[in-house]
Amino acid sequence: MKAKEENTQCIKAEAKRLGFMSCGVSKASFLEEEAPRLEKWLNQNMHGEMGYMENHFDKRLDPTKLVEGSKSVISLLLNYFPAETQGEGTYKISKYAYGTDYHFVIKDKLKELLQFIQTEIGDVYGRAFVDSAPVLDKAWAAKSGLGWIGKHSNLLTQKVGSFYFIAELIVDLELDYDTPVSDHCGSCTACIDACPTQAIVGPYVVDGSKCISYATIELKDQIPDSFSNKMDDWMFGCDICQDVCPWNRFSKPHREPLFNPHPELLSNSKKEWEEITKEVFNEIFRKSAVKRTKFEGLKRNIQFLKKE
C-alpha cells in the first residue's frame, strides 16, 4: 500500500482525467451537525410526499452503516451547465435534465474510478453513489472542501457556481482529508427573494413541499392550487434560485457530449409542447432524467401551466 498522501493525489488526478470538475475527501464518520437539522426538517414535513426521505435515518448520517468498514468518502463534482439554453417564451426544463440521465453517465465514471483505485492501490472495497441511496451528497461535498451550502441549500463554489452533479465513492481506505471552505453568501438573499413559491422559508432552509421541482417531479397527485400562477413556465424542475445566484455568473459550459440536449428540446414552442405525443416524448427524452415524471406527468404539468 502506498502512502495516504500519494494515494489521495493519485485518485484526484484520475478523477480529473475522467472529466470530474473536482474531487475532495473526508473521513467517513457520523455527520453530527446534520443530524438535528435533518430531524427537524422531517418533523416539519418539509419533505412533502417524499416518504423515502424518512427511511434509513441512521444510514443517511453515518456512512459506516452504509458501507461496512468504510474510512473515506470521496466526493466528486461533474459540471452540467449547458452552452445553449432554451429560448424565452416556452415551457422550461431544468438544465440538469437536458442530456442523458446523469445517473448512468456518472455511475460509469465512478465504476471506472473504483476500478482504477483497486488496480493502482490494492484490495479496496467501496461503493458508488449517485443520488441513489441515503447519502447526504451536499453535506459530504461541503465537508470535503468542494464548496459551501448556500442559502438555497445547493452546494456553491466561488469559481464555478452550482450547476453540477454531486456523487460519492465510499471506500475502506484511509486517505488524506480535506477541510471545509467558508461560506461566501454574505448578506445576499437573491435566491430567497426570487423563489416564486417562497419555498426557501429562511436562509439555508427549503420547504421541499413548496418547491416547483417537487411539484413537477416528485408529486404524483394533481398539483395543488397553491402553485397557480407561480410556476413561471417550468414543466420539469426549476432553476430560478440558481439562475439568480451571483456565483453562477462564473459557470462555464460542460464538456460532456452525453449532456448535450436533443435539438427539439431547445427549439420547441409552447404549442409544440402542448401537443406532444407519447412517441415524441420517448424520442426527445429517450435517455433523459425527464422520464422520471413519465409522459403522463409531463402532460399534467403542461396542462397546469396552460391554465395559468
Of 119, 108, 122, 118, residue with least CA distance to 76: 108
Instruction: Say whether pLDDT at 8 is over 70.
Output: yes
> What pLDDT does residue 212 have?
97
Three cell numbers, residue 22:
473536482
Contact 125, 172 (CB under 8 A): yes
Domains and CATH numbers, the chain: 4-86+95-171 (3.40.109), 190-247+261-307 (no CATH)
Looking at 131, 183, 232, 243, which residue is catalytic? 131
Instruction: Say whether pLDDT at 131 is over 90.
Output: no
Res. 81 pLDDT band, cuts 50 70 90: very high
Mean pLDDT of the chain: 91
* Mean pLDDT of the 169-182 span: 96
pLDDT digits (tens, 9 = 90+) for 148-174: 999 999 999 999 999 999 999 999 999
* Mean pLDDT of the 83-107 span: 94
SS3 state at 234: strand
* Mean pLDDT of the 273-282 span: 96
Instruction: Say whether pLDDT at 38 is over 70.
Output: no
Percent of the chain with pLDDT over 90: 77
Burial group, residue 167, by CB count within 10 angstroms (0-12, 13-18, 19+): buried
Of 136, 159, 176, residue with least CA distance to 12: 176
Instruction: Say whether pLDDT at 47 is over 60.
Output: no
In 10 A of CB 193, how many CB atoms?
Answer: 11
Of 294, 243, 289, residue with least CA distance to 85: 243
**With b meaning 16 or more CB within 10 Å and e meaning fewer, what string describes 256-272?**
beebebbeebeebeeee
Residues 220 and 89: their CA atoms lie apart, in Å, by 26
pLDDT digits (tens, 9 = 90+) for 205-243: 888 889 999 999 988 889 999 999 999 999 999 999 999
Which pTM value belongs to this model? 0.92
* Mean pLDDT of the 91-112 span: 96
233 is catalytic: no
